[in-house]
Structure 1
Amino acid sequence: MTDTSFSSLNLPTSMLSNLSDLGYNEMTPIQAQSLPFALEGKDLIAKAKTGSGKTAAFAIGLLLNLNQRDFGTQALVLCPTRELSTQVAKEIRRLARFKNNIKVVTLSGGQPVGPQIGSLEHGAHIIVGTPGRIQDLIRKGKLHLERCTTVVLDEADRMLDMGFYEQIEGIIDYTPKKRQTLLFSATYPEGIQKLSADLQTDPIEVTVESLHNTSQIEQIFYPLERTKKPEALSRLLSHHQPESAVIFCNTKDQCREVSDHLRNEGYFAAALHGDLDQRERDQVLVQFSNRSNTILIATDVAARGLDIDDLEVVINYDLPRDPEIYIHRIGRTGRAGKEGLALSIYRDSEDYKLEAISEYQSLSLHTESLSSLKKISSEEPTKPAMRTLCIAGGRKDKIRPGDILGAMTGEAGIEGSVVGKIDIYDFVAYVAVQRDQARKAHGRLINGKIKGRRFKVRIL
């Protein structure tokens, strides 16, 4: 049996101790297969999905190669979205705790460029960000990559889907010819092979079977018959009554239409698509992940990098053309040994998509009639358990979760048990509070102080 302990990799004791503290007990399949090659400095092309542990698969070797005294950029991680960039940078910082004074800077669009330029002026060991913003800062002469010896392309297939091929090539032209290039992708379209051929030298290919074990996921397909799509969706939600559901659409226009339809029916739903500005996007994600919204409607690209625990149901409002994308979608439910539910509605003209999905999984698909679902209740949909308070102060104001918690739960305040997830960004913070306690918590914050200061607070 292969040794999947991190100690089998001949890592420094300080790193092993930190990995243990972070709960990294055994290597995931992608870590076990890729880390030995990454640590040898080889180029790598790895097939791995979100949630597979791939950040540690590239970050461990990247961190070991850093010269702490050199504040020039030595490693670059390119990601398709700001959310994934933030998530990856956060995990790299945790993994870097075994070394002192490692600086990780996130550079992504949708945020003011000034503070990012300010961060770069003090130097950075590792840059994590999106291709557009990074290319922009290189052109402005604010980011220099001549000492960058490791480049990681994370979720490379999504970056290609979003049209970043030329930006990626342009950015990598500024790095040394002699470097290590690690490419991670959930799928292997033709563009990935071309990208690898253009940027890598004799890459080792690593493929790990999907961690999304579809045997844990009940899949039901509903033919539309004479039913219209919006009505079919309402029936599904009324019958199954999920506490959390992601609905996938193929276009952002469809996302908006579905969101409008569900909100008119009384559901707490929000759409995630490319036309939202960054603050709107953050608010949609925060409110869904902290249980203030029940339903998230998204396109595949917009949902990339989402990491949501305990997602009860995935609904395919539109079936994707590619069966691999279907598997990736439904793999967001039924995680960590729990059972999940994937519901799909389709027209007769889409039978070919069902055949492809069936063949891809080597599985007979289960279909049911929409008429078998109980009639839509006249009752209002259940309200989410939480509401979100938005505080006009964040990380740059030195606010920490404990400061917010203390301000709400101090003398004659609310019970700590009614406070949920706290998310802190550079200039804003969000805190989830049980719905029936939200107004009291809001009053505490607007009439009190956080770290000796008053901040504007509103209920979303």
Structure 2
Amino acid sequence: MATARTENLASVVVGLNKQNGQMRGQPKPASPQSGPLALGSQPGKAASAPPKEGSGPQDGGGIRFGDDWKKNLQLPPKDTRMRTSDVTATKGNEFEDYCLKRELLMGIFEMGWEKPSPIQEESIPIALSGRDILARAKNGTGKSGAYLIPLLERIDLKKDFIQAMVMVPTRELALQVSQISIQVSKHLGGVKVMATTGGTNLRDDIMRLDETVHVVIATPGRILDLMKKGVAKVDRVQMMVMDEADKLLSQDFVVLIEDIISFLPKKRQILLYSATFPVTVQKFMAKHLQKPYEINLMDELTLKGITQYYAYVTERQKVHCLNTLFSRLQINQSIIFCNSTQRVELLAKKITQLGYSCFYIHAKMMQEYRNRVFHDFRNGLCRNLVSTDLFTRGIDIQAVNVVINFDFPKNAETYLHRIGRSGRFGHLGLAINLITSEDRFNLKAIEDQLVTDIKPIPGSIDKSLYVAEFHSADPDAEAEEGEPEADHKAPEPLES
């Protein structure tokens, strides 16, 4: 089973390690993190000590009829940050309105999910009814909860076979979705969730499937391999979810998806979720979905909380510009995107030489190191991550408030998914694009396609645009501006 390994901070290698993607510069005085999350906090939660395993309302004999079960919940601190209408423009429903199991509600509330977002309001009752769904909603608005809540509600623990599958395009997204599933279902009393992806030991997956598994979270290639070997028996699966459906139905995956569906029973429910719906999705819907319920919450494509700027530079000025941004911005965590794996490693090395902590991740790394980088960055062990487009799909790290396109993307879809890594779940975010003369036509085309306005970067960026108001116990924390400027020689340009 593919799981993110928990590593001790002391085991992280100091200096450049070209294998594990984790780079660290010279030790720098830590600056207090103003804004919503400290760097050690869990995504979606304000900083706090996590509850001990096994603690919770079920300890000591469980809940009895008539108990005020909500009083016993281990709730995270309330998130007081402002949220945009992408997640607040709801009909006013409550999770309890959907007649969910009490134990599932306990897991939902302990995740810090207080009320359903618009996509959850639209999806949950329809999915519970068993109807196929074609849902279009922005990244970072609660799509995972929209399908996981009804999926987990419908699991029958008396049946020891696979009842539901979630297909995702990347290994990191599979790990994230499986982690959310396990956390939300922890009070249900035995829901068995398995993540299976390429790049991990096949024998481990075969042994795991020999035991009880109710829910499989998978990338297409690995689960199809297990199906063909007769190990993953999916002939009684009642629900299949396709997250990031546009990617799953692209040329990279569509043949695999068609093969996977051929193993499923004829009477099954299929849920498609995506921010964009190209022609391939429409063809798939016509072929495999039965009168799907269509949800479209996309009056505009980009998230309302993300402010977008561009800086016009030459290639040789990019590293210097990035150094200036690091010294002037108030960054909780940032993701910096490059267009190739070689440039990712080169840039990560440069950032480390400038004195800033930095991890990197790309598809050519060993899966073990990818898992470690993803896990450690998500848990706040490093402030900056350099990545290829591997990290653009569905990855939810709510401490990320700045995305920088060091290399400008070639198309609007990639741009949309990249900047969507900030501004998660209605919070504020900043996207900065480094534009060369060759990129100016792409910039105009992407603005037109997304009907959005990418403005020239001002001399000073207003903190209120990307640093959420948060009630801090430290009055000096709000005045802190990013990391202290590195005391190094002028940065050299990135070599191609």
Report the TM-score when normalising by structure 2.
0.68
Cα 1:128–1:211, aligned 2, differ >3 Å: closer, same or farther? farther
Aligned to 2:395: 306
Unmatched 5+ residue regions in structure 2?
1-89, 462-483, 490-496
Q: Give the aligned residue type for 2:487.
A: E
Cα distance in structure 2, aligned partners of 1:152 and 1:336: 21
1:313-324 to 2 correspondences below 5 Å: 313-324=402-413
Cα 1:380–1:194, aligned 2, differ >3 Å: closer, same or farther? farther
Percent of residue pairs identical: 33
Aligned to 1:354: 443
Unmatched 5+ residue regions in structure 1?
382-460
The one of 38, 55, 77 equivalent to 2:166 is: 77
Q: Does 2:255 match 1:166?
A: yes
Shift of 1:144: 0.8
Alignment length (residue pairs): 378
Cα distance in structure 2, aligned partners of 1:11 and 1:292: 36
Residue pair 2:141, 2:426 contacting (<8 A) in 1 also:
no
Q: Does 2:183 match 1:94?
A: yes
Aligned to 1:379: 487
Cα distance in structure 1, aligned partners of 2:294 and 2:455: 35
The one of 318, 337, 342 equivalent to 2:431 is: 342
Cα 1:309–1:225, aligned 2, differ >3 Å: closer, same or farther? same
Shift of 1:329: 2.1
The higher-RCO structure (CA 8 Å, 6+ apart) is 2
Question: Tell me, what secondary structure is at the counterpart of 1:312?
Answer: strand
Cα 1:82–1:187, aligned 2, differ >3 Å: closer, same or farther? same
Shift of 1:74: 1.3
Residue pair 2:249, 2:257 contacting (<8 A) in 1 also:
no
Compute the RMSD of aligned alpha carbons: 3.1
Q: Give the aligned residue type for 1:175.
A: L
Cα distance in structure 1, aligned partners of 2:130 and 2:197: 27
The one of 271, 274, 277 equivalent to 1:185 is: 274
Question: Tell me, what secondary structure is at the counterpart of 1:87?
Answer: helix
Cα 1:312–1:380, aligned 2, differ >3 Å: closer, same or farther? farther
Q: Does 2:339 match 1:250?
A: yes
Cα distance in structure 1, aligned partners of 2:106 and 2:315: 61
Cα 1:172–1:130, aligned 2, differ >3 Å: closer, same or farther? same
Cα 1:262–1:60, aligned 2, differ >3 Å: closer, same or farther? closer
Shift of 1:21: 4.4
Q: Give the aligned residue type for 1:284.
A: V
Aligned to 1:395: none
Residue pair 2:173, 2:394 contacting (<8 A) in 1 also:
yes
Aligned to 2:95: 6
Aligned to 1:425: none
Cα distance in structure 2, aligned partners of 1:6 and 1:357: 38
Richer in strand (by share): 1
Shift of 1:316: 0.8
Cα 1:266–1:222, aligned 2, differ >3 Å: closer, same or farther? same
Cα 1:177–1:257, aligned 2, differ >3 Å: closer, same or farther? same
Cα distance in structure 1, aligned partners of 2:101 and 2:164: 20
Q: Does 2:208 match 1:119?
A: yes
Q: Does 2:214 match 1:106?
A: no
Cα distance in structure 2, aligned partners of 1:166 and 1:48: 25
Aligned to 1:26: 115
Residue pair 2:338, 2:405 contacting (<8 A) in 1 also:
yes
Q: Does 2:240 match 1:147?
A: no
Q: Give the aligned residue type for 1:67.
A: D
Shift of 1:180: 0.3
Residue pair 1:78, 1:128 contacting (<8 A) in 2 also:
yes
Q: Deviations over 1:50-84 (max 9, x none)?
A: 43222221223223333322211111111122222
Question: Tell me, what secondary structure is at the counterpart of 2:96?
Answer: helix
Shift of 1:235: 3.9
Shift of 1:27: 0.9
Shift of 1:243: 5.2
Question: Tell me, what secondary structure is at the counterpart of 1:73?
Answer: coil
1:323-334 to 2 correspondences below 5 Å: 323-334=412-423
Cα distance in structure 2, aligned partners of 1:369 and 1:227: 21
Question: Tell me, what secondary structure is at the counterpart of 2:126?
Answer: helix
Q: Deviations over 1:246-281 (max 9, x none)?
A: 111222233233223333434332321110011211
Cα distance in structure 2, aligned partners of 1:102 and 1:226: 52
Cα distance in structure 1, aligned partners of 2:222 and 2:347: 31
Q: Deviations over 1:411-450 (max 9, x none)?
A: xxxxxxxxxxxxxxxxxxxxxxxxxxxxxxxxxxxxxxxx
Aligned to 1:52: 141
Q: Give the aligned residue type for 1:194.
A: K
Q: Give the aligned residue type for 2:170.
A: T
Aligned to 1:385: none
Residue pair 1:79, 1:155 contacting (<8 A) in 2 also:
yes
Cα distance in structure 2, aligned partners of 1:285 and 1:18: 24
Cα distance in structure 1, aligned partners of 2:105 and 2:427: 30
Q: Deviations over 1:311-359 (max 9, x none)?
A: 2321111222333432332232344665432211112232232223433
Aligned to 2:477: none
Cα distance in structure 2, aligned partners of 1:95 and 1:136: 28
Q: Give the aligned residue type for 1:87.
A: Q
Runs of 4+ in 1 over 6 A off after TM superposition: 210-213
